[in-house]
Structure 1
Amino acid sequence: MSPDGPIAYPETVRDTVVEELAGRTVPDPWRWLEGDVRTDERVQAWVAAEGALTESYLDTLPGRVAIRDRLMKLWNYERVSLPRRRGGRYFFLRNSGLEAQAVLCAREAQDAPARILLDPNGWSEDGATALGEWEPSKDGRRLAYAVQDGGSDWRTVKVLDAVGGEELADEVRWVKFSGLSWAGNGSGFFYSRFPEPRAGLEHQAQNLDHAIYFHRLGTDQSTDFLVYATPDRPRLIHGAEVSEDGRWLLISSAEGTEARTELTVIDLTAPKLAPKILVRGLDNDWRLAGSKGDIFYFVTDLEAPRRRIVSIDVGSEMRRRREIVPHGEDLVADALVVGDRLLVSLLRNVASELRIYDLDGRLMDTVVLPGIGTVSGMEGQGDSAEAFFAFTSYDRPTEIHRLDVGSAVALPYAQPELQFDREDFVVDQASFTSKDGTVIPLFLLRRKDVTGAAPALLYGYGGFEISLTPGFSSAALCWAAMGGVYAVANIRGGGEYGKAWHDAGRRANKQNVFDDFIAAAEHLKGQGVASSVSVHGHSNGGLLVAAVTNQRPDLFAAALPAVGVHDMTRFHRFTAGRYWIDDYGDPGRQEDLAVLMGYSPLHNIRDGAEYPAILIATADTDDRVVPAHSFKYAAALQAADIGPKPHLIRIETRAGHGAGKPTAKQIEEIADLWAFAAHWGGLNV
């Protein structure tokens, strides 16, 4: 097989399924590909045939091995997470470089030697069983941790003695979309779960009736206490967090991905656990920053589209609110109560600032950051002036800094040794104008000696109020190191400028997202930055890539939609898909369906148009965006008259939506995608 020769695709049976939806007839000839790949023999045969074709094609690509080797070198650096201090003990994750999974470690004091508590690398032969959420008890003596297998969103929670290292007998199953929060006395922990699904539907059935339970150490899960549920509102999803003093349980409830939450509190010292509404109605975003006794501090967009910080007295029957940090020109990205201070991360023009306020809202200091980049996380407690924050940028792998909030002095705590010379690369922030005149920011990463037009790889997301702030990626740096331009467009639908920026790219406004991304590609070509443009996106970004490829197939050299949402008429019928109605709209409503059908990748493939080369990526255990989206999209592409370039699908095994994917699988996937894009984009490897 030649990478530029004709391709004989496997034959995919076309059914005559037609669905009546919101007064509209929608053909669905590939419905049978929604069968579970783990059990449906027809789907398994199709996956095997497509996988064999894709692998044989990828084997022909020049530079594939060289790209993989370069990625391994760039990936091979120490990565350390933010430490969590509990009872004087520090807990953190560490990956020495190419380990399949990060290892959970502990230190008895800040500068004490690290010891390994949990090493997931021995949990499975293929490295695909991962450590998910984890939380030490408040005294640091116990550790609740979640096990994630094969990339699934389902978790099994276990408990470790953090002092002696022995595993306790406790086990909690069917946990999903859950934090872990310990009771103040360490007797057990709160968690969220769904009912056990019917056998065979674990990875496809809708997730309903989320509830919060308390597990007491040393007991069987069957005796776990139901703390909070809303059977009359089965679509709600709930999270629970115990206040630092152990008195209050704060419950945050939401119906979808839109940042709109209700708040409920339970006094854990009362004779009877009685939920009391703190904030009623799914109208605004409320994010806990911390508490001091009965005073809770929240980041909220109530009367503040770029967010502000308010306090609520949860012990008062009046639930008195007080503004602490008012709404301003900059977006409040995060906040944390540390000691008697409020540490606030803000976004100004898509880059971070870090400020320190007192608890009355007076600005005390501004922390000097290492450069232009992102404060990607903060850790600290209300009983200490010690805080940690993570900092990263496109040319700077994540660093951990220790901050004294009293003096505002930040010192490096964990800095990786670079596998490249930062002086060889340059990061620029530019902007371009979209179709309707909106100015959109754009980040560019390239080698310093690449001064003319070069093959560009454009990345975007554009949804769910997720901001694409500067952050290090070995994959992005690899593309730049090969002589290409890596571009990130901060298109609407994200959260870079707050609620209005998000609203401008969701539901009926979704076309703005595609217009912005198309305008980014046109800008890169028109300004002489790009000799060709290939596009890449993940999840909602996979939808983005597929949609713009349908709308402007002439504009792109290659398209790489990964784990994307491609059937906009049926996304809400699987697992967590119903949560996305906030961003996409409801296919069951006539006016929403008209919008969705206008861009749904599966339904807008243009027969007779010349399409770019397309390599779809998905995984067999993705129970967030089920792989049927990608299966059906691939079948439709291969059946269409859209030109001779390859339209292939790469299907990873024992992997899911992304979380927990072993390092080796990540490197192999990126090497395949980059080799494909390099070949069709004209980048010599």
Structure 2
Amino acid sequence: MKLTTALAAATLLLPLASPAAGKGPSKPPATEKKEVVDTYHDTQVQDPYQWLEASDDAGVKQWNDAQNAHTRAILDKLPGREPLRQRITQLLTWKSPGYGKLTEAGGTLFAGKFQPPRQQPFVVVLDSVEDASKERVLLDPMVLDPAGHTTIDFFVPTRDGKKLAVSLSKKGTESGDVVIYDVATGKQLPGELVPRVNGGTAGGGVAWNADGTGFFYTRYPRGEERAPADRDFFQQVYFHKLGTPTEKDTYALGKDFPRIAMTDLESSPDGKYTSALVANGDGGEFMLFLHGPEGKWTQVTKFADKVIGSQFGHDGNIYLLSRQDAPRGKVLRLPLATPSLDKATVLVPEGQASIQGVYAAKTRLYINEQLGGPSQVRMVDLAGKDLGLVPTPPVSSVGGLVSAGGDDVYFSNVSFVQPQAWYRFTVKDGQVAKTALARTSPLDVSDVEVIRTEATSKDGTKVPLTILKKKGTKLNGNNPALLTGYGGFNISISPGFNALAGLWLEQGGVYAVANLRGGSEFGEQWHAEGSLTKKQNVFDDFYACAKLLVEKKYTQPKKLAIQGGSNGGLLMGAVVTQHPEAYGAVVARVGLYDMLRSERTSNGQFNVTEYGTVKDAEQFKALLAYSPVHNVKDGAKYPPVLFTSGANDPRVDPFHSRKMVARMQAATSAKGPILLRADAETGHGSGTPLSARIEEEVDAYSFIFSQLGVKYLPPAKNLPAPAQK
């Protein structure tokens, strides 16, 4: 499964169970080295901390506890921590609600809602997007689990909107069981529970049939069907008929899929067709299957066809997003009556922008596209004629399109200085209007400048960089700066509103976001140039962005902090080992650091199509060249680093952080701390309670402030932002 959760959720980990402030040891615990040598393609690689991979080992647990105690002894004493806690709590518990996934079915609108200070998002039914006061709570995980450890993975309504399938998982595992709710009564249907539909490795989903009597779903191996090592693999598609035991569900598809297959399911608007888009791990290869009224599955595309997405139309066609001979994407139209790729025609040819997705309305298509990070929506009619752009602000992200009737749509929009809100676009007058489903800002960002620039990477590639600063900030090299990035899995890093970036700016800081290769900001070529044996380009891109911030006198190395999560945690590990002199502090969240043994883990095997495998000689050579734990140098002066991990993480095994911390603590000649924040109750970030997020962010930001030598000063007027129009 793609390593996205940490980035999207800001790695929302629970607070550590630890000794009281100041009572832990002031020095990191000694870590035993045990001689282990692995051989890859005649190359011997020493691995003295391999013993730390055994999470259940008593010695590892003891080491972990000692590291946590050391971390707490340092973090709990940091100056300004309590005022910082107050401000972070104020920002993250701002009571303006946020609305996530908006879905329409049978004339009913459903939405995921987050309402601080409630710990978890919940599902609401909306009568109108203009009057949220009339919404009705359909499912609140806090009612099911007052401790706040249960979360909603996804929800899918029936075509008539009368039933809702919901996946629920616990403690960050992302291992979700599907239950069914009656929308009118808000009650769960008795006896309806389908286990292990969602997972942190291959994801999961459901697609209802036309009359809502059953659904196709993704099924992981159950019981003893597979050996324990295989139970997060071999995902297949089954059909569940309501009212029958799940043990009698019927097989539909997938026995011949790759071991690391991941399947997305979707129903057509009339419910007569179901699509299954099957990914070959995380590398960006897909094949498409269709199930039609005749009751059979037909394979429409293969991995080599480079069709990466699909969307049912209302006109008897399915629209395909293809990158065959079009690295930035093109849109194909394929009649459902003849579902063979040779019957497809090009509706929207490749252009300058990278096409990210397609939404089909009654008589037009909405094409979500981007160029370097910010996104926009272009419209075409069903003959492919350009109908112009949906009016949206510059340097913003737009998505989540859903029907507002006919060709009108609702869509989500957010920018670096404008919180997320839902808007309605009306075709008749071409106007966009904000709905009542809109967050307000907990702080005033009216004086924040958004600067789009480019850094030049080692090979001459221009890398987009967005810089936020308050108007009037002097470019004298003395500003504290915070730089983040991701660079992987064909994921575009688009503009988003971050209240904690606002906190940083309040303190006179500079905040920067890099659009690195490995994402899809400029299409498949941009992704390919940052994956497999070309992964080093990602780290060169990030370093180029860091250098630009220094060269343009936004900051200086000792005042430059960097942070990233998941694949972005790998980024942190790689750049700090390659250029330790370039950074003043690092926060690396739930990252991968041993790239030679990552594929031995469940999700690591899905990542092979993105990172490569040690079984291939050239890919092994590339992995070893940047693998963070293997490139730590004895005696080097490393900046202070805070590593985080979650014991239940289904995407990145916490052993990565343990091994990296042990290696860096033993190697560094600098006085700055190398800390591990290892949590026993959480995973990769999904489903973490709000209170837990606050605790981690207090740790992260107090660490950054202290290591950069910045004294936190509460704002003179600790007031919310002015009302937004």
Residues 232/429 of structure 1: CA separation in 2 closer, same or farther (3 Å cut): closer
- On the 8 A contact 1:262/1:281 being kept in 2, the answer is yes
Q: How does 1:522-533 map to 2 (within 5 A)?
A: 522-531=547-556, 532-533=559-560
Q: How does 1:113-512 map to 2 (within 5 A)?
A: 113-169=134-190, 170-175=192-197, 176=199, 177-196=203-222, 207-231=232-256, 233-267=258-292, 269-270=293-294, 273-316=295-338, 318-319=340-341, 320-380=343-403, 384-413=406-435, 414-452=437-475, 453=477, 454-512=479-537
1:488 Cα deviation from its structure 2 partner: 0.6
- On the 8 A contact 1:152/1:623 being kept in 2, the answer is yes
Q: How does 1:648-667 map to 2 (within 5 A)?
A: 648-667=675-694
Q: Which residue of 2 aligns with 1:55?
A: 72
1:80 Cα deviation from its structure 2 partner: 1.3
Which deviates more from structure 2 when the two are superposed, residues 314-323 or residues 585-594? Answer: 314-323
Q: Helix, strand or coil for the counterpart of 2:463?
A: strand
Unaligned segments of structure 2, at least 5 residues? 1-19, 713-725
Residues 9/642 of structure 1: CA separation in 2 closer, same or farther (3 Å cut): same
Q: Helix, strand or coil for the counterpart of 1:247?
A: coil
* CA-based RMSD: 2.3
Distance in structure 1 (CA, Å) of the matches to 2:607 and 2:571: 15
Which deviates more from structure 2 when the two are superposed, residues 222-231 or residues 18-27? Answer: 18-27
> Of the candidates 622, 640, 643, which is equivalent to residue 595 of structure 1?
622
Which deviates more from structure 2 when the two are superposed, residues 404-413 or residues 252-261? Answer: 404-413
1:572 Cα deviation from its structure 2 partner: 1.1
Distance in structure 1 (CA, Å) of the matches to 2:158 and 2:109: 12
Q: Which amino acid aligns with 1:674?
A: Y
1:215 Cα deviation from its structure 2 partner: 1.4
Distance in structure 2 (CA, Å) of the matches to 1:128 and 1:566: 28
Asked if residue 96 in structure 1 is aligned to residue 115 in structure 2, the reply is yes
- On the 8 A contact 2:442/2:499 being kept in 1, the answer is no
Q: Helix, strand or coil for the counterpart of 1:153?
A: coil
Deviation string 1:196-242 (CA, Å, 9 cap, x unpaired) is 3779997x867321101111112222111111013463332222222
Distance in structure 2 (CA, Å) of the matches to 1:406 and 1:206: 52
Q: Which amino acid aligns with 1:562?
A: R
Distance in structure 2 (CA, Å) of the matches to 1:422 and 1:639: 43
- On the 8 A contact 1:385/1:406 being kept in 2, the answer is no
1:406 Cα deviation from its structure 2 partner: 4.6
- On the 8 A contact 1:533/1:556 being kept in 2, the answer is yes
Q: Helix, strand or coil for the counterpart of 2:483?
A: strand
- On the 8 A contact 1:82/1:390 being kept in 2, the answer is no
- On the 8 A contact 1:82/1:388 being kept in 2, the answer is no
Q: Helix, strand or coil for the counterpart of 2:303?
A: coil
Q: Which amino acid aligns with 1:638?
A: Q
Q: Which residue of 1 aligns with 2:62?
A: 45
Deviation string 1:602-634 (CA, Å, 9 cap, x unpaired) is 111011111100100111111111111111111
Distance in structure 1 (CA, Å) of the matches to 2:291 and 2:169: 30
Which deviates more from structure 2 when the two are superposed, residues 123-132 or residues 89-98? Answer: 123-132
Distance in structure 2 (CA, Å) of the matches to 1:118 and 1:207: 28
Distance in structure 2 (CA, Å) of the matches to 1:179 and 1:306: 27
Q: Which residue of 2 aligns with 1:22?
A: 41
Q: Which amino acid aligns with 1:677?
A: I
Residues 59/98 of structure 1: CA separation in 2 closer, same or farther (3 Å cut): same
1:106 Cα deviation from its structure 2 partner: 0.3
Unaligned segments of structure 1, at least 5 residues? none
Distance in structure 2 (CA, Å) of the matches to 1:250 and 1:278: 10
- On the 8 A contact 1:365/1:408 being kept in 2, the answer is no
Q: Which residue of 1 aligns with 2:717?
A: none
Distance in structure 1 (CA, Å) of the matches to 2:323 and 2:257: 27
Q: How does 1:5-16 map to 2 (within 5 A)?
A: 7-16=26-35
Q: Which amino acid aligns with 2:576?
A: T
Residues 199/221 of structure 1: CA separation in 2 closer, same or farther (3 Å cut): closer
Distance in structure 2 (CA, Å) of the matches to 1:578 and 1:500: 23
1:482 Cα deviation from its structure 2 partner: 2.1
Which deviates more from structure 2 when the two are superposed, residues 637-646 or residues 466-475? Answer: 637-646
Residues 109/552 of structure 1: CA separation in 2 closer, same or farther (3 Å cut): closer
Q: Helix, strand or coil for the counterpart of 2:269?
A: coil
Residues 359/517 of structure 1: CA separation in 2 closer, same or farther (3 Å cut): same
Q: Helix, strand or coil for the counterpart of 2:312?
A: strand
1:139 Cα deviation from its structure 2 partner: 0.5
Distance in structure 1 (CA, Å) of the matches to 2:562 and 2:369: 29
Q: Helix, strand or coil for the counterpart of 2:582?
A: coil
1:540 Cα deviation from its structure 2 partner: 0.8
1:23 Cα deviation from its structure 2 partner: 2.9
Q: Which residue of 2 aligns with 1:582?
A: 609
Q: Helix, strand or coil for the counterpart of 1:650?
A: strand
Kindly indicate whether structure 1 or structure 2 has the higher relative contact order, using CA contacts under 8 Å at least 6 residues apart.
2
Residues 230/347 of structure 1: CA separation in 2 closer, same or farther (3 Å cut): same
> Of the candidates 540, 559, 571, which is equivalent to residue 544 of structure 1?
571
1:20 Cα deviation from its structure 2 partner: 2.6
Which deviates more from structure 2 when the two are superposed, residues 285-294 or residues 413-422? Answer: 285-294
Deviation string 1:166-221 (CA, Å, 9 cap, x unpaired) is 1112111122211221111101122112213779997x867321101111112222
Deviation string 1:74-129 (CA, Å, 9 cap, x unpaired) is 22132112421111111112222332111210024555610100111233343121
- On the 8 A contact 2:233/2:259 being kept in 1, the answer is yes
Structure 1-normalised TM-score? 0.94
Distance in structure 1 (CA, Å) of the matches to 2:681 and 2:512: 30
1:670 Cα deviation from its structure 2 partner: 1.6
Distance in structure 2 (CA, Å) of the matches to 1:33 and 1:23: 25
- On the 8 A contact 1:394/1:471 being kept in 2, the answer is yes
Distance in structure 1 (CA, Å) of the matches to 2:77 and 2:408: 54
Q: Which amino acid aligns with 2:276?
A: I
- On the 8 A contact 2:445/2:502 being kept in 1, the answer is no
Q: Helix, strand or coil for the counterpart of 1:92?
A: strand
Distance in structure 2 (CA, Å) of the matches to 1:388 and 1:553: 46
Q: How does 1:605-684 map to 2 (within 5 A)?
A: 605-684=632-711
Deviation string 1:123-171 (CA, Å, 9 cap, x unpaired) is 3343121111111111111000011211112111111101111111211
Q: Helix, strand or coil for the counterpart of 2:35?
A: coil
Asked if residue 69 in structure 1 is aligned to residue 91 in structure 2, the reply is no
Q: Which residue of 2 aligns with 1:86?
A: 105
Distance in structure 1 (CA, Å) of the matches to 2:334 and 2:180: 33
- On the 8 A contact 1:356/1:405 being kept in 2, the answer is no
1:542 Cα deviation from its structure 2 partner: 0.5
Distance in structure 2 (CA, Å) of the matches to 1:108 and 1:480: 39
Q: Which amino acid aligns with 2:408?
A: E
Q: Helix, strand or coil for the counterpart of 1:81?
A: strand
Distance in structure 2 (CA, Å) of the matches to 1:64 and 1:390: 35
1:283 Cα deviation from its structure 2 partner: 4.2
Q: Helix, strand or coil for the counterpart of 1:312?
A: strand
